[in-house]
Amino acid sequence: MAKYQNPVVRGCYPDPSVCRRGEWFYLVNSSFEFFPGVPISRSKNLVEWEHIGYCIDREEQLQLSPTLRQSASGIFAPSIRCKDDTFYMVVTNVTEEEKDNGNFYVWTKDPAGAWSDPIFLGTEGIDPSFFFDDDGNDYYIGTSNHQIYICTLDLKEQKITGKRTVIWEGTGGSYPEGPHIYKKSGWYYLLISEGGTERSHMITMARSKQIEGPYEACPYNPVLTNRSLLRPIESVGHADLVEDLNGNWWAVCLGTRTFSYPPKHNLGRETMLVPVNWENDWPVFGNHGSLDQEIETDCLPAKYTYCEKKQDYYCDFTSEKLDQSWNCLYTPQHSFYKTGDGTLQLFGDEHSLCDMAGYAWLGVRQCEHNTKASVELEFKPMAQEEAGLTIFMNHKHHYEAALVLQDGTTKLILRRQIGSLYRIEQEIAVPNDKVTLELESDLDNYTFYYRLEDGKRKLLGKGETVYLTTEVGGSFTGNYIALYAMGNGKNCSSPAKFSNFTYKEI
């Protein structure tokens, strides 16, 4: 019996959607205000996923800009489907949701290559998905006003046709959302989430002989939930089903790895894999409707050998294009960085880290609780300017080590911001504008260290992990380890030069 461990995609990769072409499975996830948007991965065994690109990676494709939403704006809940060898990814940019202009799709023949420009659909609400029926009809399913609705879709004309029909309101849980439709043995199955994306999250199902209903609820609802269970993975929900070439069914869903009491999480909502069996024409998810962290199965669609997966990432900044691990905030409005000569140069503008803005910031996801990151920084700060290494939940919740100018001297500071509380915890004079910054994370603390010319590692200070969790200061996203430069009111006079970035999971 083979075993695998959940999550199968670690870090902030929520709202998974999956489809299959031949022996390859393709997975997309939400990306919120981060750019490039909608990461896409592929796998043959459903456990090991290779990140192959982003559906939204050209600046002219989509403008993700700051909004009045406190955080977690932008791209919510993509869905991916394949028809006649063309892939379609439909998604909401919630920033435009109120104008009913948030839902759009992009398509491609090559999921690892370029995706089309967005085709806006003018539909209401969030969490769109497509269903391609075997009779040739295509449908759009969406969520609006706590109801699931369907309408016909004309892919040739690239628009919604026909009227909008409400097909289900769920079983009475809050936030019925994330709908997907499947056809099996003459039934249309409608899979949704209820209970909200927090600890009451659950997956429910209904079925009908006609696509527009009436839908009858599954007698065993919720078909998947970890609510009220003492499990290492909580908040299980927002699922999508896929059948493999052997006729076995699987679901991907989101879940959180929590710690502390009451449970909290800092890595965002991650992607889980759930085996699904069918009994009496209803699906049985996971362990009698709940999700275990470790799963034994003989059915994975391709060979997998269990191994503990830990990232050991090094970026030497010698390539002219940053690799796909890096994200910035919002669609960049101007070029704020330069790389390729062994450094990453960040050109800080007038923004401050506590602004909600697309500033000189580049980060990688924190994907495990226990990690170590380090980077070398050379920066000559002028008045107001700063550059450094931050552990960043959002613009109001972050801890950072940064070089600043104080009383005519370059100093290394440790600062923490937790909501409106803001404190500089440490200040150390730095003789030659050069420092190595190190950050270690565990379930208790984020701990910063530094090295000056003599190479000796010294403690800068630490901050509690608990205050950089979704439950304290976040919403839909997880923490990023990021490099940044800020002019705090003016453009920085010189770039901050970062080199030799490492991120290692322990």
Residue 237 CB, nearest approach to ligand 6LW (Å): 5
Residue 32: CB minimum distance to ligand 6LW, A: 7
Closer residue to ligand 6LW (CB): 97 or 400: 97
Q: Does 170 bind ligand 6LW (CB under 6 A)?
A: no
Q: Residue 401: which residues within 8 A CB-CB, separation 6 or more?
A: 388, 389, 390, 412, 413, 414, 437, 439, 448, 450, 460
Give me the amino acid identity at 443.
L
Torsion of CA 226, 39, 469, 191, to 10 degrees: -20
Query: Contact between 236 and ligand 6LW (CB under 6 A)?
Result: no
Nearest to 20 by CA among 116, 77, 78, 87: 87
Does 31 sit near ligand 6LW (CB under 6 A)? no
CB-based closest residue to ligand 6LW: 197
Place of tokens 């969030």: 126
Residues 110-129 that bind ligand 6LW (CB under 6 A): 126-127
Q: Is 463 in the site for ligand 6LW (CB under 6 A)?
A: no
Verify binding: residue 75, ligand 6LW, rule CB under 6 A: no
CB of 94 to ligand 6LW, least distance (A): 8
CA dihedral 426, 356, 256, 41 (to 10 degrees): -110
Closest distance between ligand 6LW and the C-beta of residue 494, in Å? 39
Q: Judge contact between 303 and 7, C-beta under 8 A.
A: no
14 binds ligand 6LW (CB under 6 A): yes
- Beta strand pairing status for 119-120 and 126-132? unpaired
Residue among 199, 238, 264, 416 that touches ligand 6LW (CB under 6 A): 238
Residue indicated by tokens 């530094």 = 450
Q: Does 15 bind ligand 6LW (CB under 6 A)?
A: yes
Task: Give the nearer residue to ligand 6LW in terms of CB position, either 67 or 86.
Answer: 67
Contact between 77 and ligand 6LW per CB under 6 A: yes
Please identify, using beta-carbon distances, which residue of 251 and 254 lies nearer to ligand 6LW.
Answer: 254
33 is catalytic: no
CA distance 62 to 291: 36
Residues 6+ apart with CB under 8 A from 161: 151, 152, 153, 154
Residue-wise DSSP of 370-397? SEEEEEEEE----TT-EEEEEEEEETTE
The answer to whether 194 contacts ligand 6LW (rule: CB under 6 A) is no
Residue 264 structure tokens: 């909290």
Report in angstroms how near the CB of residue 4 gets to ligand 6LW at its nearest: 23
3-class SS of residue 163:
strand
Judged by beta carbon, residue 255 or residue 348, the one nearer ligand 6LW is: 255
For ligand 6LW, give the closer residue by CB, 199 or 396. 199
* Type and span of the H or E element at 470: helix 470-473
Catalytic residue among 33, 97, 127, 177: 177
Q: Which of 254/414 has CB closer to ligand 6LW?
A: 254
Can residue 76 be called a binding residue for ligand 6LW (CB under 6 A)? yes
Strands (E), 123-228: 126-132, 138-144, 147-154, 159-168, 177-184, 187-194, 202-208, 216-217, 224-225
Residue 15: active-site member: yes
Pair 126, 192: CB distance under 8 Å: no
Q: How far apart are CA 93 and CA 87, in angstroms?
A: 19
Output the smallest distance, CB 404 to ligand 6LW, in A. 36
* Interface residue with ligand 6LW, options 53, 128, 173, 178 (CB under 6 A): 178
Is the Cβ–Cβ distance between 41 and 52 less than 8 Å?
yes
Q: How far is the CB of 483 from ligand 6LW (least distance, A)?
A: 26
Residue ranges binding ligand 6LW (CB under 6 A):
14-15, 30, 76-77, 126-127, 177-178, 193, 197, 237-238, 254, 476
Active-site amino acid positions: 15, 177
